[in-house]
């Protein structure tokens, strides 16, 4: 409920304040989509793809945003609370779904999640071009220091980020593949 309320607030507030623009207000950042998917996955934990997206996006991407936030406001501004609740909430949802509910990623989930991420990134890149936006930092690096800042100049940091994402997804998947392999060996 908290994740869903945060998503609605993020979308509705700029409209109510009269500050909505296609360039800055569309919910297109990967964390915006991860927020909605995490809320749905918590409500529908049998939706395995939602669990996998929440787990991998939450721990490989959103956690990085928690560590190096790109915020132009500070506590107690509403944007600060929206950011913290969304990003920390996604990470908590990822851990809850996989650890507490034991909804482990399926075999092939890294390929599936990476493919969805690349396709979504391409779509957002087209929107960025059309509206002059910088969703997912595809047009320029964040103004605050982040992992992207260390991955090279535009557009090369996008390719580097894809490589880092693939490594992180495989690292996050490794414990589950190791356990599956160990179970197979034990049953022989």
The phi-psi region of residue 108 (left if phi > 0; otherwise alpha if psi is between -120 and 50; otherwise beta) is left
Q: What's the half-sphere exposure (Cβ side, CA atoms, 13 Å) at 1?
A: 0
Looking at residue 180, what is its pLDDT? 63
Angle between helices 109-131 and 30-43 in degrees, nearest 10: 130
In the prediction, which pLDDT does 183 show?
64
Q: What are the structural domain ranges in the chain? A: 2-187
- Please tell me the number of Cα atoms within 13 Å of 72 on its side-chain side: 2
Confidence of residue 148 (pLDDT cuts 50, 70, 90): confident
Report which of 31, 180, 163 is spatially closest to residue 105, judged by C-alpha positions: 180
Reported as a single tens digit per residue, the pLDDT across 2-44 is: 999 999 999 999 999 999 999 999 999 999 999 999 999 999 9
| Portion of the chain with pLDDT greater than 90, in percent | 74
Query: Quick one: pLDDT at residue 54?
Result: 98
Tens digits of per-residue pLDDT, 67-103? 877 777 778 888 888 989 999 999 999 999 999 999 9
pLDDT 10s digits, 42-75? 999 999 999 999 999 999 998 888 887 777 777 8
Distance (Å, rounded) from C-alpha 131 to C-alpha 21? 9
Q: What is the predicted pLDDT for the residue at 85?
A: 92
**Whole-model pTM?**
0.90
């Amino acid at each position: 409920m908290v994740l869903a309320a945060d998503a609605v607030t993020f979308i509705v507030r700029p409209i109510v304040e009269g500050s909505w623009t296609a360039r800055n207000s569309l919910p297109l950042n990967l964390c915006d989509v991860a927020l909605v998917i995490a809320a749905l996955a918590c409500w529908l934990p049998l939706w395995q793809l939602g669990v996998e997206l929440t787990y991998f996006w939450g721990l490989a991407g959103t956690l990085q945003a928690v560590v190096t936030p790109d915020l132009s406001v500070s506590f107690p501004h509403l944007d600060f609370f929206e950011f913290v609740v969304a990003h920390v909430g996604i990470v908590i949802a990822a851990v809850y779904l996989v650890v507490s509910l034991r909804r482990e990623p399926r075999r092939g989930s890294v390929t599936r999640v990476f493919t969805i991420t690349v396709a979504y990134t391409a779509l957002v890149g087209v929107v960025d071009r059309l509206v002059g936006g910088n969703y997912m930092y595809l047009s320029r690096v964040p103004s605050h220091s982040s992992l992207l800042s260390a991955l090279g100049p535009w557009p090369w940091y996008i390719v580097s980020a894809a490589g880092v994402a693939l490594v992180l997804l495989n690292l996050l998947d490794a414990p589950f593949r190791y356990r599956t392999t160990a179970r197979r060996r034990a049953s022989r």
